[in-house]
Each structure stands twice: as C-alpha cells, then as structure tokens.
C-alpha cells in the first residue's frame, strides 16, 4: 500500500474569540478546525470545499506549518511540519488567490522565481538562472517576461509566476488556496489545466482549497466537504458530485445544473448563514439549516463513518441523492 504523503489525525486548532463578559475579560475559544482526519496520497489532488469561515484556510495553514495544532497530529512524510521548518518549506509550498499580494513589486520576474533558491542557497548563480528559465517554460511563459515587474503582467501571467516560484524548491505538496478565484473564467481554465499537467508530469500532490465546485471537479481526484471546522463528507469526486450523501453536500450541489437529468428531484436549497464558531450549535452543527433534522441531530454529533467503499459521511440519516430522509428513516 502506498504510504500517505500528508496525514491529519483528529487535528484541532482554536483561537481566542472576541472579548465578552464583565469588562471584556472573557475570551471564548473559537474552534476553527475541530477534529479533522484526512490524508493525501502522492500525486493526488484533494479538493477541500466549504463556505467562507468553515476552517479551510486554517487547515491549509496547519499543513503548511504556519499554525501548530492544539490537538491531534499533522504529518508530512511522517514528520510534523514544525519539526524542521527549513526542510518542511522545501516539501510544502503554497499558491494563494491574489498573485500581486505575493510578488514583491520591486523584484523582476526572474528575481522573484529565483528568490527561494537563493534563500535556501541552492546552486550557483548560473545554475539558478538556468533553473528559472526552465521554470518559466514549465508554466508556459515566454522567457522575455523574466525582466518584467509584477505590475507589467496580466493576472494569469502573474499567477503563473507564483506557480513557477512555488515549484522552484521541487516540493512534494502544494497548498492551493483559492488559486483561480481572482481570475476571469477563460484564464481559470488555463491555470487549472496547467496545474493538472504539472501534477501529472512532476508527481505533485495538491490540497486544493476552493468554493468553486467546477474547479474542484476539473482538477481533483478526491473531495472533502467541510462545515464549521469538521469534515462532513469525503470520497472520490464522482461519489461526492454524483452520489452525495450529506444534506449539506446535496444543498451545495443543488445550484449546479444537471443536463443529464434536468427534471430529477433536487435537494432543498441551502438556507440561512452558517452558525458562529464562537457559539456552535450542539449535536450536528448543520442541524439548524437542515431540512431533515430530527431530535438526535440536535443532541449528538454524528461520526464521520464509511458509508460506501472509499466514501465517508457524518450524518445520522445517510441517504443517497434524490431519496428523501423520511424514506431513509422508514427503511
């Protein structure tokens, strides 16, 4: 069996919430990541999907080593990210949403891409220059862009430079935090195709954080759905998209047209806003918004359990798509 490249086991991360109580002396803890267990295999793209504020980016920061878990473990090749930060930085790199927030406006493209090599003292000036030229070819940029500054680039070009920079240290894992959200639709597709080719050519693994289900479908092999700090469903993308079991996943997918079955029954639309993590509801965190919630949902949190081979769901009343919960309960 192939060894897992990234493994999270009951990972938890909380932060001090806003001041409350007499004279603001109480600061309740906000559980951003509440016991997540996930794994990423070598060469695999795992999509992490959920609404804003559900804990996706915090989970990404745990994998990057920018946050330390309060509980549980986060391992990359069996080693905690904080054990050796310099080595970990070569294993795990990040691509963020807005490339112009990442690139130093004072550095030309060639300097920006070479900077990680210089920081880690890899190669000579000549070998670094050749490495930069190769990286620009890898991300399909002409070499004459090497002397331009970030403000002289289009959004797509700037994101390709950020990808080239992330590849400079030959990482095994790249955390992609909404990497195409700021780009126009045609450029998004180009960047997704580039990321997929690089994954296959270089054997990369991705943690692809996104709210864009179309992008996740195009790039990822597996998908994890996150709600209020917890994974509520996880499995191969075909299972998640075509046979979702959790009502939250079903509601997220309801907005996507189904040309294969336009008249098929649909799950109820997602209602309301997510609860505040400062005051998370008891039991299943989704129950205040769930059309199928019953008393057990209000009192007991469901475990993330295997409902089909390779498919896990956290729901007391797991039912296939287009099957009502009342029918499922009767069965």
CA–CA separation, 269 and 13 (whole Å) = 30
Cα torsion angle, 218, 220, 223, 225, sign:
negative
- Enumerate the domain spans of the chain: 228-257+266-331
| Gyration radius (Cα) of the chain, Å | 21
223: phi then psi, degrees, rounded to nearest 5? -135, 140
Measured distance CA(192)–CA(183) in Å, rounded: 11
Which token pair is 165? 């920079």
0.85 surpassed by pTM: yes
Residues 51, 211 contacting (CB under 8 angstroms):
yes
Q: Cα separations (Å) of 60 from 56, 95, 168?
A: 6, 11, 20
- For residue 179, give Cα distances in angstroms to 34, 126, 190, 211: 25, 31, 12, 11
Q: What is the pLDDT along the chain (331 residues), one digit of tens a residue?
A: 567 899 999 999 998 866 665 565 666 778 899 999 999 999 999 999 998 889 999 999 999 999 999 999 999 999 999 888 889 999 999 999 999 999 999 999 999 999 999 999 999 999 999 999 999 999 999 989 999 999 999 999 999 999 999 999 999 999 999 999 989 999 999 999 999 999 999 999 999 999 899 999 999 999 999 999 999 999 999 999 999 999 999 999 986 655 454 444 456 667 777 777 777 889 999 999 998 899 999 999 999 999 888 999 999 987 544 443 433 343 3
| Number of neighbours of residue 310 by Cβ within 10 angstroms | 10
Which whole-number Å values give the CA distances from 168 to 89, 147, 193, 324, in the listed order? 11, 18, 19, 50
So what's the pLDDT on residue 19? 64
3-state secondary structure the chain: CCCCCEEEEEEEEEEECCCECHHHCECCEEEEEEEEEEEECCCCEEEEECCCCCCHHHHHHHHHCCCCCCEEEEEECCECCCCCHHHHHHHEEEECCCHHHHCCCCCCHHHHHHHHHHHCCCCCHHHHHHHHHHHHHHCCCCHHHHHCCHHHCCHHHHHHHHHHHHHCCCCCEEEEECCCCCCCHHHHHHHHHHHHHHHHHHCCEEEEEECCHHHHHHHCCEEEEEECCEEEEEEEHHHHHHCCCCHHHHHHHHCCCCCCCCCCCCCCCCCCCCCCHHHCCCCCCCHHHCCCCCHHHHHCCCCCEEEECCEEECCCCCCCCCCCHHHHHHC
Of the candidates 36, 37, 44, 35, the residue with the CA atom closest to the CA atom of residue 3: 44
Query: What's the pLDDT score for residue 208?
Result: 98
Max CA pair span of the chain: 71
**What pLDDT is attached to residue 29?**
79
State CA 215 to chain mean position distance: 12
Residues 6+ apart with CB under 8 A from 263: none
Region for residue 21 given its phi and psi (left: phi exceeds 0; alpha: psi -120 to 50; beta: otherwise): left
Question: How high is the pLDDT of residue 256?
Answer: 65
């Amino acid at each position: 069996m192939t060894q897992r490249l990234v493994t999270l086991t009951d990972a938890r991360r909380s932060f001090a919430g806003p001041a409350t109580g007499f004279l603001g002396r109480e600061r309740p803890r906000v559980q951003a990541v509440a016991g997540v267990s996930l794994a990423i295999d070598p060469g695999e793209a795992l999509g992490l999907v959920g609404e804003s504020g559900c804990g996706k980016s915090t989970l990404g920061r745990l994998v990057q080593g920018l946050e330390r878990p309060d509980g549980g473990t986060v391992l990359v090749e069996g080693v905690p990210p904080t054990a050796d930060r310099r080595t970990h930085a070569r294993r795990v790199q990040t691509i963020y949403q807005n490339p112009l927030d990442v690139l130093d406006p004072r550095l030309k493209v060639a300097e920006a891409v070479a900077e990680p090599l210089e920081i880690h003292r890899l190669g000579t000036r000549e070998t670094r220059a050749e490495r930069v030229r190769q990286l620009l070819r890898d991300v399909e940029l002409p070499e004459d862009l090497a002397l331009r500054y970030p403000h002289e680039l289009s959004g797509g070009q700037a994101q390709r430079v950020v990808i080239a920079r992330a590849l400079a240290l030959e990482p095994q894992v790249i955390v992609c935090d909404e990497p195409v959200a700021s780009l126009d639709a045609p450029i998004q597709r180009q960047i997704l195709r580039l990321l997929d080719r690089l994954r296959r050519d270089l054997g990369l693994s991705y943690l692809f954080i996104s709210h864009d289900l179309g992008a996740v479908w195009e790039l990822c092999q597996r998908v994890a759905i996150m709600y209020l700090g917890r994974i509520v469903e996880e499995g191969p993308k075909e299972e998640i998209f075509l046979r979702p079991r959790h009502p939250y996943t079903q509601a997220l997918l309801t907005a996507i047209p189904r040309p294969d079955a336009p008249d098929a029954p649909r799950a109820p639309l997602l209602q309301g806003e997510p609860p505040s993590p400062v005051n998370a509801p008891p039991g299943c965190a989704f129950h205040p918004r769930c059309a199928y919630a019953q008393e057990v949902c209000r009192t007991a949190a469901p475990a993330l359990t295997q409902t089909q081979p390779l498919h896990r769901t956290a729901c007391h009343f797991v039912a296939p798509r287009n099957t009502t919960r009342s029918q499922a309960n009767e069965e």
